[in-house]
Every structure is written in C-alpha cells, then in structure tokens.
A and B are shown apart, each in its own frame.
Chain A
Amino acid sequence: MLSYILRRILSTLPVMGIVALFVFSLLYIAPGDPAAVIAGDQASPADVERIRQSLGLDRPFLVQFSSWLWDILHGNLGTSIFTNLPVAKMIAQRIEPTFSLMAITLVLTILVAVPLGVVAAWKAGSWIDRTIMAFAVFAFSLPVFVVGYVLAYVFALQFEWLPVQGYTPLSNGVWPWFQNLILPALALGSVYIALIARITRASMLEVLQQDYVRTARAKGLDQRSILFIHALKNAAVPIVTVIGIGIALLIGGAVVTESVFAIPGLGRLTIDAILRRDYPVIQGIVLLFSFLYVLVNLMVDVTYTLVDPRIRY
C-alpha cells in the first residue's frame, strides 16, 4: 500500500508538469493584457507598452515559460503583477476561508445526503422516497447563487440571525467562524446533497436486493444495523467516488458562493486574477487545485480499500 501511495504521489509530477505547460500556454494565447488593466482608462498606448515591458510580458514565450518554470522548481510561485505580493502569500491568505467552506459543506453534505439516500432506498416507492427525490431534483435544479440570495434574504435580512457576507478566521472563535459559513455552506451544499442522496439511494437499492441482506433480515438483525452497517458499507464505493468527484464540483461552486457571500477565498482570488489577467496568480492557483485534485483522487482510491477488502493495491 505504502509503495502504491508513493508511486501515485510520484506520478503527480508529470501530471503537474503537463498542467503547468497547458496553463501557461493557454494564458499566453488568451486575449487580454494586464498592462492595459494596470495603466487604467486614461493611460496612453505608450504608457501601456512601457508597463508591458517592465513586467517582462514582451519577452518571447519560451523565455517567459522557462523563467517561470525555473522559479516553480525552486518553490517560488512568483509575484502578483498587480499587488506586488508573493503568489504563495496571496494563496495562503485565502486558503483558510475556502477550505473552511469546503470542509463544512462536505460534512454537512455527508451528514444529510447519505442518511437521506439510505432512507429513500429503504422506503423506495413510498411517499418518503418520492419526497426526498423531489427535494433532490429541486435542489439540483437551482443555481447556487439563487439559493444563496434566498438564504441571505430570509436568514440575514428578515430574521437577522446570520451575517450576509464576510469571513471570520477560526482563531477569532468557533461560533463567529461558523456563523459566517452557515449560509454559504447551505447554498453550496444544496446541489451536492441532492447528488449524493441520489447516488446513495441508487447504490443502496442495488445492495438491498442482495442475498446477504435477506439473510441478515432472516437472522433478525434490526433495520438500522442492516442499513447502516451491512448495506451502506457495501454500497459505499460509488458513493465515495462521487464524493471525490464532488470535491472538484465544490471548487467550482466555491467561486460563485464566495462571490455571493463576499468570502475572501481562493474562488474569488481566481475570478479577480482572471479578470485582471494576473498570470502568476492564475498559474499558482491552477497548479494548487490540480495538485489537490490528484490528492483527492488518491484519497478516494485509498478509501476504497477501507470499505471493500477485495480491493488491494
């Protein structure tokens, strides 16, 4: 197992290399010019050109790419064209809000979606199943920003229970931290809850048809043990897979959610960097997310061995 994990981690290196080349090339050919954004609307074309030169953006592709790659290999993600701050520092400033949002959303999703899916499968065809699946379809159909606005309107503006926007670091206390993340996590998690609930139901339905479940019932095991200990464990592989894929969805959803709730996370940093053409920041974030995605896939593969003893690497 250990050698497998090591091999997988090593295999990320060429993946990251390809991602790096791809991202750099894409940004190089993409329209837009950070110098024009920096110079502002009143700047003359000559000013824009001077700024472009001072940023080194007039250098040939290979020169720019090799210089960037050399810095990356030395652990330097570069400096933001706009803020003049190290990209690593900018990412570090934004990692906590995004990871907090993703973690709470993930926990909330698993705590809500898996039991819902299990119950829906258990009561398949009943009004409970139909209600849960109707909710899933509804939640799946609503865009994150619409859910976000509705939640903010109801719970922040009408009831004044929760803040509309912002983020409080965990170091300022658990409740202030959690308070700012409740609505965003609900908004971001709604689609994800619907997805996992549906997958759990489908997977559980298949497992509940198996002979060993009938045997368990015949032995007189209680329903909760059958559902959550025997059946769920065997239904877990597709659920874990979708949760893994869902983390990628969360990254995408975080971009919208962070904008709606003004959370200073990586999603907003990404949007700001793209709109301004802040190439080093975009490249740094994409590399980080690519690495995380590879890591999540690895974790999913390892988790398979925990839920299914037949799987060994």
Chain B
Amino acid sequence: MDRRTLLKGFAGVGSLAATAGLSMPALSQGAAARTLRFVPQANLANFDPIWGTQYVVRNAAAMVWDTLYGVDAALQPQRQMIESEETSDDGLVWTFRLRPGLKFHDGEPVRSKDVVASLTRWSARDPMGLMLKAIQNELVAVDDRTFKWSLKAPYPKMLLALGKNSTPIAFIMPERIAQTDPFKQIPDYIGSGPMKFAKSEWVPGAKAVFEKFADYTPRQEKASWLAGGKQMLIDRIEWVVIPDPATAAAALQNGEVDWWENPITDLVPSLKKNRNINVDIADPLGNIGSFRMNHLHPPFNDVKARRAVLTALSQEDYMRALVGDDPALWKPLPGFFTPDTPLYSEAGGEILKGKRDLTVAKKLLAESGYSGQPVTCLVAQDQPITKAFGDVTADLLKQMGMNVDFIATDWGTVGSRRAQKTPPGQGGWQVFHTWHAGADCVNPAVYNAVRGTGDKAWFGWPTSEAVEKEVTAWFGAKNLDEEKAAVGRLNKAALEDVVYAPTGFFLSYTAWRKNVSGIAKGPLPFFWGVSKTA
C-alpha cells in the first residue's frame, strides 16, 4: 500500500474522531483566506436582476455585472464602464464612449451593441428607464465603443438613471442575453463585473458561489459604493443561506461563516460580546417604515381618515416594537425622504411631531364618515418588520375606535392581495405594511411609493396632483437648490394628502469576524476592497 492510498483510506472512511482533521479536504491558510463565506439577507432564488427585482438579487448581480455609471457614497453618479460622455447643447442627444479593454466573462469584448440591448431591456422595467423610453427617439450603437441616445425632451437625470443603486439597476449584459423578454428570465449569467457566477455550484436556497474574474479591468479611482475601482482581494465568495437567525449567529461565532449581512436586533448583544466579531451599522441610509392605506375604498379614500391616522400615530411605538431599546437604531421621520441626504425635508411634518392626539384623530375620523365598518389590515407574520408594525397598527386603530379585521398571513399572500383593487369584502384590503430602503428614498426618481399617480401609482393607488407637480419640478431642476425646494414642497404635499404614513427611520446592523477587513457601509454589501486573513 502506498502513501496516497493510505491517506485516501483515512479520508474516505477514517476512524471517525481520530481522523477528523485528516478527512476534511484541508485548505491551506492562503486558500482559506481567499474564500469569503457570507450569509446574505435572503435566499438567492433567481439570478436575473431585471426580471426579479428583490434586493438580494441586486446585491449578487452587482458583483457579476458592471454598470455604465455607479452612484458613490455622496449619492453622485460616477463613470464606471464609461470613458466619456457628451451632451448636445439642447440636451437631447447623449453620446457615450466605453472604456477600452472591457470584457465579458466568456472572453468577448463589451461592445456598444451589448449596451444598447441591455439598456433596452432595463428601460422596459425601471421607472426611470420607462421615463427615458417615453421620450426616446433612438438608442443606437455608433461603433464598438460608442453609442448614442437621442431624446425628444431633455432628461437631466440621465447619469443618475444609469448609475443608481435602486432596483432594477442598469447592468450591462451580452447582447444575446439582454435580448431576452424583460418579463422572462435570462437563460445564462455571463457577466461584465469583477466576479463570475459559478452556476454549476448554485443550489438555490442553500449556496451561491462567485469566483474572481481575472480579466476584469477595474478603474483606478478608489472604490466608493458602485463607483470607482472594484478591486477584488478575495478569489471566491460563497453565499451560505442560513434561514434561521440563531443558527447564523452561532455559525458566525463558530467561525463557519465570515460575514452575516443582517443579524436580527435580538442577537446583536451576544455578537457584540464576542471578541472575534465586529458589529456595526450596515447602511447609513437605513430604511423607512410604511403604513400603507388604500386610497380607493372607505374609510381611507377620505383624506380626513388618513390624517386621523397621522395625528394619532406614534413613530416611537413602531420603532421600539421593531428595534427594542437601542436608540442608535432609529429616529423619528416627519417626512418621506432619507435623513442626512441632500434632499431630506421636514416641510409639513408638524402632523407627525409632538404629543399624539387621539381626540383630534377620533374627530377627524368621524368627519370622514367612518361608522364602524371593518378595516382589513394585512399583516405578514413571516417578516419581523411587518409583524411588529402590524401589531402596533392594530392597537392604534382600535384606540381610534376602528373595527380592525386583522389578517395574519404571510408575505407571499400580502404580495398578492395588495394588488387587488376590489373592495376589502371582496378580496381587497385597507391597510398593509412594508418598508423602503433609504437608498430608494433619496430622490423622487427612484421612489415609487411616494408618487400620487392614482391608478398607475404603487399599491394603495394615491392620487395627488400636488405631489406629481413637484416630482416634475424636481426632474426639471437645474441645480441642487431647485431640487431641494421642489422636494420640500413635495414632502409637504405628500403629508397633506397622506400618500402613506411613515412609521419612522430605522437602521440595521451587519456583523463580521475580525479577520475580515474592508467592509464598507452602504445600501448593499460591497465585496470589492474586502480582504480576509486566515
């Protein structure tokens, strides 16, 4: 028997505990340091960032596909795959030139025709893309590295549209893939970004693997969110799906994983006590809680009933139900836009400030004509955020004297039922809860939920001409001051019409082992610049 056969014998059958160290395929220290094991916020169930717009898909796709522009930490779009751009004097023709040397993961160069196909598919699904499509004359490839977008009207927010981080992002795919119907899934995952997707190792619900793309050409600038040099210091990233938070916490403490994207608040104290683990705020842009009312049916088709809710609603109750007693994790939000961002406004926010007044709320409710009919409140119990919000809302509405029909269900059912415009007694609804990533609430372009376009608006279908007028004003703004003024008026109008009721601004943590460094705070986990020691 030779040495190799003997070792195989040990590795294969082994004498159990005695051979524990031998039977594992021993990774060298270097190999271990080049593999990062990451626990994502959710299961990566599909991998088409245009077809499926869940955040988890976007987060994975940001590694695999590059973008023409990328929004940085200052919320400004910066060139990414683009070398230069020109705009005609009338603002109607945009000419873009790609950086040289860009390659797809199959070795093919990135050409303008790939970009045109990718933008065509993206613009069929994205709100800003749809606006562009509506005013588009033509989008054509001029040569392999140049493409031209001609418009019927100026679109000053072009670079933001191409570089924003809200879903769906304008990722660049090979033409043959990007030609897929935007309402069907792409058949292949050939990317343009710094990591390749290892499709053969993908076990949806359990594992997704990404490998470094050796031919990726990062920019020279320092990385900042989706902008700058996406330098990969890790060769392999394994996404390990761990549905149970307690198990994820234990796995992080045990060194079985390196980084947990979003530990639940209850488990953070125990993680903070562990000397091998760092815990910090994941995304300074945080999230905005939403109490969404149906504007089509009584009682919330009357603005007085909606104002009654705002008058009585205590954001502190919602936030404490969600994050407990950690004051670092929340703040009141008398408005709709993300705090500490350039367009944040509290204009019109008085109704959400100060002592909550149930008497006034009851009076407003009575004036709206409410007379005790059931109010159907959809509460997804499988999402900690919506469950906490739902419980507080049920109590609030009861205190206001409403007859609450509390529908405890799952998010899948809420997702389906909230699309029903029929009256609550016929499958519709009056209230549901959700939350919006702060990154999606930094300006009106990426903020569907604040729009008041009636039938075409987001679920709840608010109609507000005043809001829409200010959205248009913001799109046409020539400088930041004009933008701020428009958003201030928009905020006030949205509170007056109560497009929805904000339940507060909250943050969440992320946790990683101390042998991992380079983790940046941001609206998604950025893997460039992250390194690990064994």
Contacts and interface: CB of A to CB of B under 8 A. Distances in A.
Interface of A: 31-34, 36-48, 50-51, 53-54, 80, 82-85, 90, 93-94, 149, 152-153, 156-157, 160, 163-166, 172-176, 178-179, 259-262, 264, 268-269, 271-272, 275-278
Contact of B419 (A48, A85, A153, A165): A48
Given A40-B52, A157-B254, A277 B412 contact: yes
Given A36-B419, A264-B203, A156 B23 contact: no
B410 A36 contact: no
Given A84-B185, A275-B382, A32 B247 contact: no
Contacts of B11: 173
B190 to A, nearest CB: 15
A267 B48 CA distance: 25
Contacts of A93: 203
Nearest to B255: A160
B13 interface: yes
Interface string B185-228: 10100000000000000011111000000000000000000000
B410 A32 contact: yes
Contact of A44 (B55, B434, B458): B458
Contacts of A176: 23-24
A152 B256 contact: no
A83 B45 contact: yes
Interface stretch (B237-245, B465-473, B515-523): B237-245
B45 A172 contact: no
Given A175-B16, A264-B203, A166 B23 contact: no
Contacts of B206: 262, 264, 268
Contact of B448 (A44, A82, A149, A164): A44
Most chain A Cβ neighbours within 10 Å, of B206, B418, B434, B436 = B206
Contacts of B48: 84
Contacts of A85: 204
Q: Nearest 10 pairs between A and B by C-beta? A: A264-B206, A33-B416, A36-B415, A40-B53, A32-B412, A175-B23, A173-B23, A54-B183, A164-B250, A82-B45
Contacts of B20: 175, 179
Contacts of A39: 52-53
A259 B416 contact: no
A42 B183 CA distance: 15
Most chain B Cβ neighbours within 10 Å, of A33, A178, A278 = A33
B515 to A, nearest CB: 17
A204 B351 CA distance: 74
A152 B456 CA distance: 50
Nearest to B451: A44
B150 to A, nearest CB: 26
Contacts of A163: 254, 256
Contact of A262 (B125, B240, B410): B240
Interface residues of B, number: 65
A234 to B, nearest CB: 36
B412 A262 contact: no
Contacts of B125: 47
Interface of B: 11-14, 16-17, 19-20, 23-25, 43, 45-46, 48, 51-55, 125, 127, 166-167, 181, 183-185, 187, 203-207, 240-244, 246-248, 250-251, 253-254, 256, 382, 409-413, 415-419, 434, 436, 440, 448, 456, 458-459
A165 B17 CA distance: 18
A163 to B, nearest CB: 6
A200 to B, nearest CB: 28
A42 to B, nearest CB: 6
A164 B25 contact: no
A293 to B, nearest CB: 23
A156 B254 contact: yes
Nearest to B448: A42
Contact of A152 (B247, B410, B418): B247
B240 A272 contact: no
Given A83-B45, A174-B14, A42 B417 contact: no
A22 B225 CA distance: 50
B183 A164 contact: no
A168 B52 CA distance: 30
A104 to B, nearest CB: 13
Nearest to B205: A272
Contacts of B409: 31
21 contacts: A32-B412, A32-B415, A34-B412, A36-B419, A37-B411, A37-B412, A37-B415, A38-B52, A42-B166, A83-B45, A94-B203, A153-B250, A157-B253, A164-B256, A165-B242, A166-B240, A173-B14, A175-B20, A176-B24, A264-B205, A275-B412
B251 A41 contact: no
A275 B253 CA distance: 29
A244 B416 CA distance: 39
A174 B46 contact: no
B251 A164 contact: yes
A83 B46 contact: yes
Given A175-B23, A176-B24, A259-B244, 16 more contacts: A31-B417, A32-B410, A36-B412, A36-B416, A40-B54, A50-B183, A157-B250, A163-B256, A164-B251, A172-B25, A175-B17, A262-B240, A264-B207, A268-B206, A272-B43, A272-B45
Contacts of B411: 37, 275
Contacts of A260: 244, 246-247
Most chain A Cβ neighbours within 10 Å, of B181, B382, B440, B459 = B459
Nearest to B459: A45
A259 B436 CA distance: 27
A160 B166 CA distance: 41
A42 B167 contact: yes
Given A164-B254, A175-B23, A259-B244, A31 B16 contact: no
Nearest to A80: B204
A52 B77 CA distance: 34
Contacts of A179: 20
Contacts of A262: 206, 240-244, 247-248, 251
A275 B23 contact: no
A112 to B, nearest CB: 18
Contacts of B181: 54
B9 to A, nearest CB: 11
B172 to A, nearest CB: 21
A58 to B, nearest CB: 12
Most chain B Cβ neighbours within 10 Å, of A32, A50, A149 = A32
Nearest to A152: B250
A173 B253 contact: no
A46 B413 CA distance: 18
Most chain B Cβ neighbours within 10 Å, of A36, A259, A262 = A262
Contacts of B254: 156-157, 160, 163-164
Contacts of B456: 44, 46
A235 to B, nearest CB: 33
Most chain B Cβ neighbours within 10 Å, of A51, A175, A260 = A175
A61 B61 CA distance: 35
